[in-house]
A and B are shown apart, each in its own frame.
Chain A
Amino acid sequence: MMPSTLEHKLAKILTKRKKYKAIRYGLYIFIFLLVLGSIQTTIIKDTDWEKIGTFGTVVKALARFFPPDFSLFPHLVKPTIETFMIACLGTFLALVLAIPVSWFAAHNITPYKSITYPIGRAIMTLSRSVHEIVWGLIFVAAVGLGAFPGILAVAMRSIGFISKLTAEAIEDINPGQMEAIRATGANGFQVILYAVIPQILPVFVGNTIFQWDINIRRATIMGLVGAGGLGLTFHRQLVMYNYGGVTTVIIALLLLIAIGEVGSYYIRKAII
């Protein structure tokens, strides 16, 4: 009796496995066909192949970007510093604004659960879902051209990320410390100051540095919508058809980002 049930079970498992295998391969084939279909409709049919021409014309179009126009370099110093400062100020503003947002959006410490929690969550989602270009457009329309809308746009984009990870860290903290501080008669503010902040500080600082690194990247494109920095120079060189200058701007941008990456690595190492 015993072995027969075992065999029975084994056979059941094997048929199940076969079924799953069939489903899996069916799914693979389906996805493959879907991708092929999309390639057909979006890339092959939609592209104006005649305008792109042969491989040679593409190479020719690419060759316009070389050699880089190094005479532009002295003019790139100021926009590069500007870009760097937009990123720094944007990150700083995001950091300041992320504190109340993450306080509101952390389920365990939010002051009025039915009101502030959804507000915090909504700000977080909105901030993350709108691309920095769109934020740039909104702020340029509201406060005019210049570096200021760039700072605001960069800040708005990173609030969501910093506060999301911080709120998650707050939700994971050890409640014992909060209870201990509350037991001393501390009010809500003191509980946050002495029980919550020390526990989440490393996460918060780490995320902020990570965002700073990304924000340098974001700041480089703020100029495309009229908000100062290297993006503006890039745009100008492009509309003047000075492709060598475009390459120079990209080189400057890569240097700036490399500096940011190395800097953030060392700061993170020094803090953590």
Chain B
Amino acid sequence: MTASTLSTPRDSVKTWRRFKYPQSLIKYGIMLIILVFIAISIQYLNIHLERVLTMFGRLGNLFANRYYPPDIPYILDSEYLGYVFETVKMAYLGALFGILLAIPLSWFASFNMTPNKRFLYPVARFLLMVCRAVHEMIWTILLVTILGFGMLPGVIALSLFSLGFTGKLFSEEIEAINQGQVEAIQATGANPLKVFVYAVLPQVRVAWTGISIYTWDAAFRAATVVGFFGAGGMGWYLRRTVQQVESNRVAAILISIVGLVIISEVASAWARNKVSTS
């Protein structure tokens, strides 16, 4: 008996596999499903795969012949720079309003701290979800149809965008706080507002500051294009030049957008770093 078990060591020298029999089947099954889904989608969306190959030539052509000498003097024009300044202002106003609205809403929408689980919690959750689910461009278009052209719909659209963006992150931070401090403040007989101010806010302050800076960055990115649908700022120039097929100017505007976004990103990374270390 023992001899036979010792004499058959070959069973145990099987090649090692990360996934044993049933799991490996599931893995390949999922891969197959994904591939079939991709094939069906390509068929359904009517994509001509042969066009994929010619795409690079056409993209190269687009950049080399139509976009290439970007009309740099156009973006250095004082009128355009004025609109850039407006865009910056729109972005930070939108981010600021969004963050200010997100403070109470994220408090209501955090499961552990919400003052009223029956009513306020679902309502706040739903509001945040709608703000986040509807893309900022759709907000812009809707607000432009209601309020007309100008900066106001842009600022409101960016506020809603920032509200959805920060609300979720803020409430996630609240849900991760240390309950001990909350209990300590509650034990003094404090009402929910006081608990929020003295037990929750000090714990999330640093994280929220970082998120707020990041929100400003994200709002600025969105602000560069809300004007495309008539809500003020440099996006309006983009629309005008795209529609008049002034490709050199489009290229110049794109360069200005990329440059500004990179500047804002570097600034926000620096500021976030400063906040988290201090």
Q: Which residues of A contact B (CB under 8 A)?
A: 35, 38-39, 41-43, 46-48, 51-52, 58, 61-62, 65, 81-82, 85-86, 88-89, 92, 125-126, 128-131, 133-134, 137-138, 141-144, 146-148, 151-152, 217-218, 220-221, 224, 228, 234, 238, 243, 246, 250, 253-254, 257-258, 261
Contact = CB atoms under 8 A, between A and B. Distances in A.
Interface of B: 34, 37-38, 41-42, 44-48, 51-52, 55, 58-59, 62, 86, 89-90, 92-93, 96, 129-130, 132-135, 137-138, 141-142, 145-152, 155, 221-222, 224-225, 228-229, 232, 238, 242, 250, 254, 257-258, 261-262, 265
A234 B138 contact: yes
23 contacts: A35-B93, A39-B93, A41-B89, A42-B89, A43-B151, A43-B152, A48-B150, A82-B44, A88-B38, A89-B41, A89-B42, A131-B225, A142-B62, A148-B47, A148-B48, A217-B135, A218-B135, A234-B138, A234-B141, A250-B138, A253-B138, A254-B134, A258-B129
B93 A43 contact: yes
A47 B152 contact: yes
Nearest to A143: B55
Contacts of A88: 37-38, 41
A246 B134 CA distance: 13
> Which residue among A43, A144, A224 has the maximum number of chain B CB atoms within 10 Å of its CB?
A43
A218 B222 CA distance: 12
A254 B133 CA distance: 6
A27 B222 CA distance: 27
A146 B47 contact: yes
Contacts of A125: 262, 265
Contacts of A137: 238, 242, 250
